[in-house]
Homo-oligomer: A and B are copies of this chain.
Amino acid sequence: MKLKNKSKNGTKFKANVELSKLKEIEKEISMLKSANALLYWDRATILPAKAVLERSDQAAYLSKLIHEKLISNELKKIISTLSEPLHFNKLDKISQLIVKKYQKDLKKLIKIPTSHVEDFSKLCIKSLGAWEQARDKKDFKVFEPFLEKVLEMKLKEVNYIDSKSHPYNVLLDDYEEGMTVDDVKKVFEKLKLGLLELIAKIKTSDKYVKSKNLSNKLNKLKFPIEQQKEIIEDIRKLILVDMDRTIIAESVHPFTNTISPNDVRITTAYRKGQPLFAFTSTAHECGHALYELDFDPKLRDTILFNAPSYGLHESQSRIWENQIMRSEEFWKYYFPKFKKKFPSLKSMNRQEFYELMNQVKESLVRIECDEVTYCLHIIIRFELEVALLEGKIKVKDLPKEWNNKYNEYLHIKPKNDKIGVLQDMHWSEGLFGYFPTYAIGTMYSAMLFKEMNKDHPKLMQEVRKGKVDTVRNWLKDNVHKHAGKYLAKDVVKKATGKYLSPDDFLEYLNEKYGKIYGF
């Protein structure tokens, strides 16, 4: 008995020693990631033009240090020791989840040769440059050979990891863990039909037909940047509340960037001819930022201090951007304030403004389109990606296939590649499998929003008064605080009782746009 006791204590002791070694490594990785995130933030906001190459070197070096720590024998040994049932069973629940996550991630990570990681990262820099050039010249041909190489290397990577699965499943795992290409296909098929049906209804409505040839009045009004900035400060405070854990800056494309647990940053952009862009993009990025600010601090510096999927992350930005800040109720509260800032709105009433900011129009550019057509842009990209990876089409076919799909689903054809197949940078960096998360997030946002309203039937009455505490608290308790403890699909199941489906989203759209377009 004594011996057994001793052995038990010994085991407990060993597990603790390994756990604290793990904590130390995680802390180091976390600090390197913070520094690397800052290098990125700074590059996208204020870096002097001539320092761009130096900055890539710095970022590549820190990435290498992080990668080396992740695939180090030390970490492998710690995880392998802690995975032994003898030790594993002695761990608390959170530590068990951490060990399991490392087991899974390391299994994948060690299969990819470091040389491949480095070569791919170098290729991406060139490929991104070629994409920029191709855009300037509005000519896909400039980008084509680079994209071919990127795709080839991405397929090689997929093969390293798992040569038996559908390649798209391997890719999806990086962004939407636990979801398969068949899951996505099924959901997207239903979503597509629902959207096409709704758009058809909208397009035959009287209101649509009447305004069909008029351009959106809002885009012609004056919205001085100084006043836009004041509005954006207001929105930031409304969503994020604690201004001592965040800052905002300007960048070409808005983004959210977490430097460390109390330092989550967003950017916005002021675009000519799109006066509401800064407003909606700030609401969007604040949604992302609030998610990261709400992670359970107990998980700090661990591998679980992350959102479980890009789709779930996107759902958090969409709820604030669309369900809250594009809602009729929000503008009942906010329009008088808004109008005061912008005298150009003097002769416009709230209803007209609300309808104009939610105008549906089949258009070419994903990041400028409305809520209804948005997911069709995503579905087009997903279908092209799958066809590429299954070898059904080739890189050189992309412009033609792209234009055909836009014609088929959105009844519009790009005049050139810049506003067609070259509009997103994602593929130039090898981000195949990423696009679906935008639509998955959009569907999740509707599911979560519906559940939130069930739990709090007076929620939108609060929004009408400018109160969003209930929204914030519900999201924190049901989504944010969990950080990476559970898979995204399980977080949503726990919160709503359902797995991913387009039903709630289509219901939300039909109700909102039925009211706007009168059917």
Give the B-binding residues of A (Cβ under 8 A).
Answer: 28, 31-32, 34-36, 38-39, 42, 46-51, 54-55, 57-58, 61-62, 242-247, 249, 259-263, 265
Contacts and interface: CB of A to CB of B under 8 A. Distances in A.
Contacts of A259: 51
A186 B246 CA distance: 52
B58 A262 contact: no
A260 B61 contact: no
A229 to B, nearest CB: 15
B35 A42 contact: no
A47 to B, nearest CB: 7
A48 B245 contact: yes
Copies in the complex: 2
Contact of A247 (B34, B48, B243, B246): B48
What 10 pairs between A and B have smallest CB-CB spacing? A51-B263, A54-B260, A49-B244, A50-B262, A51-B262, A31-B61, A50-B244, A35-B35, A31-B58, A34-B58
A423 to B, nearest CB: 28
A289 to B, nearest CB: 11
Contacts of A49: 244
A243 B31 CA distance: 32
B48 A246 contact: yes
Contact of A245 (B38, B50, B249, B260): B50
A247 B58 contact: no
A234 B489 CA distance: 56
A263 B39 contact: no
A252 B30 CA distance: 29
Given A31-B58, A49-B244, 20 more contacts: A28-B61, A34-B54, A34-B58, A35-B38, A35-B39, A35-B62, A38-B42, A42-B42, A46-B249, A47-B247, A47-B263, A48-B245, A48-B265, A50-B245, A50-B262, A51-B245, A51-B262, A51-B263, A54-B260, A54-B262
15 contacts: A31-B57, A31-B58, A34-B54, A35-B36, A35-B38, A46-B249, A47-B263, A48-B244, A48-B246, A48-B265, A50-B242, A51-B262, A54-B262, A54-B263, A55-B263
B35 A58 contact: yes
Given A50-B244, A62-B35, A244-B49, A260 B55 contact: yes
A262 B35 CA distance: 19
Contacts of A260: 51, 54-55, 58
Contacts of A32: 61
A115 to B, nearest CB: 17
Contacts of A38: 35, 38-39, 42
A214 to B, nearest CB: 39
A422 to B, nearest CB: 27
B247 A46 contact: yes
Contacts of A242: 50
Nearest to A34: B58
Contacts of A249: 46
A361 B54 CA distance: 46
Contacts of A46: 247, 249
A360 to B, nearest CB: 38
A263 B51 CA distance: 6
A198 to B, nearest CB: 42
